[in-house]
Structures are given as structure tokens and as C-alpha cells.
Chain A
């Protein structure tokens, strides 16, 4: 583990030096523009307080400084850091503060192609909040899915090239960064407890949870992929491929008999997967139709079957989202999405069903020249009958200050993705100051 961290540190530092190394000669070339003219800085300070019926869930402050430096040859260097401090221990007592270099990338045009080198976020797909193809970057589940996407997505070091070829744009990704989803610790409020997510063992079985086995070949284990996108007869189309390590570890189980009883040794291991898919979108009058589809190989689902040799069932998974956005009323959006996943095998005692369907509905309206915004987001799992309701109102006091109030209400069975958090309903208020 220590060796792995050292390797990671060396590689990240090398990459950092590479990005800065590429940037510095450009900086020296910027003779016609003073450094201060070429540099733009900003600072966002936000604070959010969440309270449930028993306690304060979080009292968090985020400080996000950002710097952008224009460089010659149509290049730009961007750096974004984030300091997070939560005065409350409830969300995750082991993760109350962090200081992080969120993004650092050099963006440069080479001919007609655009190269982005460094730590960055790449968003694929057309769905809002539902992950089919938007899996290039892992996600921080510290606060389940309640944190905003930009904050929750974990940026990765990568090479990202977008190359136009006639009417098609080819995007190539090479990601030598083995960072995966981050889950709330078992002491955290939003630790996954649902039996559809975490395998269960009989009470008399001793569980020995090993440290995750992570890929350790920086280059050999790099993720890579491509996207071909085009605009054709009114349709936005893309074809996507990603060869990657799935960001959720597979819990391999080994049962053994010890003098004190049966022991289950659980070894989390990251596994490779091929993801192939595509997206589309088009507008028809007041309606916008959008969708995405992805087929993933080598998806491993845990099973509670004690006779299974390793406690997992190898699967392939088809996932798709169909979305309709309706703009029929002024300054309003009604957005409906249907999301479904299908596993190739549906063996008994697999912890999740072979078919899983979710509906989402977003109602949004802006008032007062876009300074006041109200929305209700509803996510409902059709199979489990559980869901999440998120009404929110936000107001721009001016260009620098935004205020918001919201409620997060979970409902449904404890075994559901959302239902497991029915005791976590909360009231949220926040303020963001942009400078």
C-alpha cells in the first residue's frame, strides 16, 4: 500500500511537472501581454448547513480558488483548488476536512484539434444525474448523491484530445490515474447499508475485510477510450467506447473453517470492463428528446449464495436512459427521464435484481429575470418503490451572492438505494459568494 502511494505520488508529481513544464515556456513567450493581464483569478466561498430531525448533519464551508492564465499559441492553463471543512462529524467523522488540488490542466490548440492535459473532469452522456456513460471520472459518495455533480465528481489526470475529422469529432482519452469512487466510511451518515448493495453473511460467520487490491501498473492499467460525435440532420449523435476499471470494487469472498467457526475473507478488487455505447438528442417543437445507451462487460454482482465459490456472479450489463424535456411554458422546464439497467444473468441470491428501473422528474421555473429559481427533482425506483424528493429555491441577491433553501426527503424500503436513508431527511440552507 505504501509502495503504491509512493508510485502514485511520483507519477502525479511527474505529470504536474509535465503540465507546468509545457506551460512555462509559453509563459516566457507572452511578451506582448503582461502577466497580470493574462491572468484571471476568482474565489468562491460557500457554506451549507443541513439539519435533520435529530441533529445537524453538516455545517460545511467550501473555499474554491481558481486561476486561469492565457498563454500564447491559443493555450490556457487552469488551476482549481478546494478547501473543505465540516464543523460537524455526522456526514463522515473520518473525513471532516480536506485540501485538494481539484483541477490543473493545460488546454492548447494544435491545428484544429484541442488538447487538454492534466487533472480534469470529462463528462460524457446526455442524462441528468443518471450514470450510463458519464463514468470517465469517479464520484465521491461521501454525501450519497446529494452533493452537486461538479463537487462530487473526482477529477483525474489524463490526456484528452479532441480532433475534428470532416464533420466528426474524435475524442481520445488516456487516463493513467487509478483513482476510484470514494464511499462514506461505515461510521458516516450516508454509508451504504442496503442489502441490495452490500452482501450479507450469517451472524455466526466471522468477516475479515481485506484492503482493496488496486491496479498498480500506471501505464498498463491506464483507462483509455474514445468518442466519435457529430451533428447529422438535426441530431446530435455520439458513439463511445471506454476500456476502464470499474470504479466500484468487486467483493471477492473466500469461506474457510477456523477453530472458532466459519470465516469469510472479503477481498475488494477492481476489475476491468469494456463499455460501449452512444448518445442522441434532437429538438421537436417544444420537446427535446435525448438518450444514451451503454453496454458494459464484466460486471460482477455479489451473491449471498454460500455455495458459490467466490461470492460473485459475472455479468454483462445493458443500461439506458430516455429523456424528454418540455419547454411549453415560459421560463420553465419539465424534464422526465426513464433509466433502466439489465443484467445478463439473474441468478437467485444475487444481491440486486437483474432488472432495475428508475424514473426522474424535474420541474423547474425561473422568475424575476432569472434571479429566482425554483425546482423540484423527484427520483423514484420503480422496482423497489423507494425514492428521493428534492424541492429547492435559490435566489441571486446579486452577481456575487446566491442563497438557497431546500429539503431532501427519502422514502421507501430500507433495502432500496434511496430507502436506506429514510432517517436522513433534511432541511438545507446555503450561501455562495463569488469573487
Chain B
């Protein structure tokens, strides 16, 4: 009996050691999480863009609310300014959101919200970036980052390479750098499938502060527009509430000039 067990144990140990070594070799051949993040953030997304964004908000019973918006984004050096105007339906028409995203890690963004019922532009805190954006399942941070990532908020590790829907992807695990950041973001862990060729996140899974799976985002219909890889469809499911949000981008244009004046308090009040 002992004779027969010993070789099995030996083989098992040998296999485990070899597998571990192979994993180490494979992992070391993968780009690091930070390198992948830098590739994602270095991806060309145009100096400016204008686009129509249709939001579908679907509750657990399937009741769907649809919002049509027009958005503009422009880089001013390393500073990114984004504005979203709500066009439909009537009950949210005129609502507009403006954000100035600064490159300095220690500088809070500036954000404004125009509510037509008050006819007033309201300064809003940028620290509530984990709050959900106007009834969607995307947070203010998700909206602001636009498929890019915050380098300073997370520690990252590349777990493996795998095929996702036929695309070679790196699976990156991101953990917030500290509890305060985790609370601000609303996530304790994020798993991302990053396309290894075009450096776009194709899928993300988010865990809440308690460590429960919170939501899953799938990025679809990625096409080149005017030479720039562009996401046209984002689907997110909140596993806690069973609420879903689908974003569909259309009329994407990187070449039409977007006026600097589009990113002012005046333009929020004026609307489109």
C-alpha cells in the first residue's frame, strides 16, 4: 500500500511544482497591471468628440426608461472636460452635467449639474464619485473615465491571458489602494478583461465594499471611427438590484470642432 502511494504523492508534488513554475513563467511574460493601465490610458480617443448617447434603464420587472443625450468631450492639455445634455424625455430634458477632470492626482475634479426645474447650475461634490449617475448603474467615476482607468486609485495585478468572445484579453485584478478610496469608489475589487490588441476593456466585474459581486459590465460593438477605436455599446447589470443600464453611442464624430464654450456654466443653462 505504502509503495503504491509514494509515487503518486511524488508525482503530485512534482506536477504542482512544475505547474506553479509554469504559471510564474507565464505570469512574468504577461504585462503588469500598471503597464496595461498605461496602455489603456494612452489609447487615442481623440482631442475632442461629439456623440449621441442613448441610455436604457431597465428595472427588475423589465420596465424600461429611455434617455437621449448629446455629449461633448475635449482635452485642454491633460485636462479633460466633458458635458452631457439630456434631450429626451420631457421630464429630464434640459438637465446637463459638466465635469473638469484634472490630471493632478491630489486635485478634486470640478462638477456642475444644471436642473431645469430650478433653472440653476448647482456645484456638486466630486468626492461622491461612487454614487450612481442620474439613475443609471454607472457611477459618476465610470461616466467620467469613459473606459479609461484611474492609475492612482488601484493596485493592479495581471492574473492571466484568456480568450473572451474570440478576442485575446488580459485579465487584470484591481484593488483600491486604501479603504477611503474603496468607499469613495464603492468597489472593493474590480476584475477587467482588457483587449490585448486594442487596449479597450471588454468586460468588467465589480465587487462592493462588503466583497459581494455588485455588477458586471460588457462592452460591445467596438469599431473604428475616423481611425479611432470607439465603444458603441455598454451593458451593465447590477446583481444586487437586478437593474440594468445599456448605453448606445451613435453619431460619433472626432473631427467636428467642439467649441471651448461648450464647457461653461453658460452652455449648461443654454442647453442644445
Contacts and interface: CB of A to CB of B under 8 A. Distances in A.
What range describes how many residues of A lie at the interface? 35 or more
Interface stretch (A24-32, A266-274, A278-286): A278-286
B123 A42 contact: no
A283 B108 contact: yes
A164 B135 contact: no
A140 interface: no
Contacts of B63: 398
B46 interface: no
A327 B128 contact: yes
Contacts of A128: 118
A370 B123 contact: no
Interface core residue of B108, B119, B123 (most chain A CB under 10 Å): B123
Interface string A28-71: 00000000000000101000000000000000000000000000
B21 to A, nearest CB: 45
Contacts, number: 102
B127 interface: yes
Contacts of B90: 42, 44, 399-400, 434-435
A244 B89 CA distance: 38
Given A283-B126, A330-B186, A150 B89 contact: no
A325 B128 CA distance: 12
B123 A282 contact: yes
Nearest to B119: A123
Question: What's the interface size class on B, roughly?
Answer: 35 or more
A232 to B, nearest CB: 12
Interface string B117-154: 11110011111101110111100000000000000000
Contacts of A290: 123
Interface in A389-435: 396, 398-400, 402, 434-435
Given A234-B110, A283-B111, A399-B91, A121 B119 contact: yes
A119 B157 CA distance: 60
Contact of A164 (B93, B117, B127, B261): B261
B66 interface: yes
Nearest to B110: A234
A93 B63 CA distance: 43
B135 A370 contact: yes
Interface in A289-344: 290, 325, 327, 330-331
B79 to A, nearest CB: 13
Contacts of A164: 261, 264, 266
Given A369-B243, A402-B91, A330 B128 contact: yes
A327 B124 CA distance: 8
Contacts of A402: 91
Interface in B236-272: 241, 243, 261, 264-266, 270
Interface in A162-203: 162, 164, 169
B270 A283 contact: no
A163 to B, nearest CB: 10
A397 to B, nearest CB: 9
B65 A398 contact: yes
Contacts of B83: none
Given A164-B261, A368-B59, A396 B91 contact: yes
Contacts of B65: 396, 398-399
B125 A112 contact: no
A149 B118 CA distance: 7
Contacts of A330: 128, 130-132, 186
A369 B59 contact: yes
A283 B120 contact: no
A164 to B, nearest CB: 7
B57 interface: yes
Taking each of A282, A283, A368, which has the highest tally of chain B beta carbons within 10 Å of its own beta carbon? A283
A81 to B, nearest CB: 15
Given A399-B89, A399-B91, A327 B125 contact: yes
A114 interface: yes
Interface in B18-58: 57
A360 interface: no
B266 A169 contact: yes
A325 B125 CA distance: 9
Contacts of A396: 65, 91
Nearest to A435: B90
A148 B117 contact: yes
Contacts of B264: 164, 169
A236 interface: yes
Interface string B154-195: 000000000000000000000000000000001000000000
B243 A285 contact: no
A107 B92 CA distance: 21
A331 B119 contact: no
A286 B135 contact: no
A381 interface: no
Contacts of B136: 369
Contacts of B91: 396, 399-400, 402, 434
B74 to A, nearest CB: 16
Interface string B98-116: 0000000000101100000
A283 B118 contact: no
A231 B265 contact: yes
A290 B121 CA distance: 12
17 contacts: A44-B90, A114-B266, A150-B118, A283-B124, A283-B127, A288-B125, A325-B125, A327-B127, A327-B128, A330-B131, A331-B131, A369-B135, A369-B137, A369-B241, A370-B135, A399-B66, A435-B90
| 3 A-B pairs with the lowest CB-CB distances in the bound complex, closest first | A370-B135, A434-B90, A327-B125
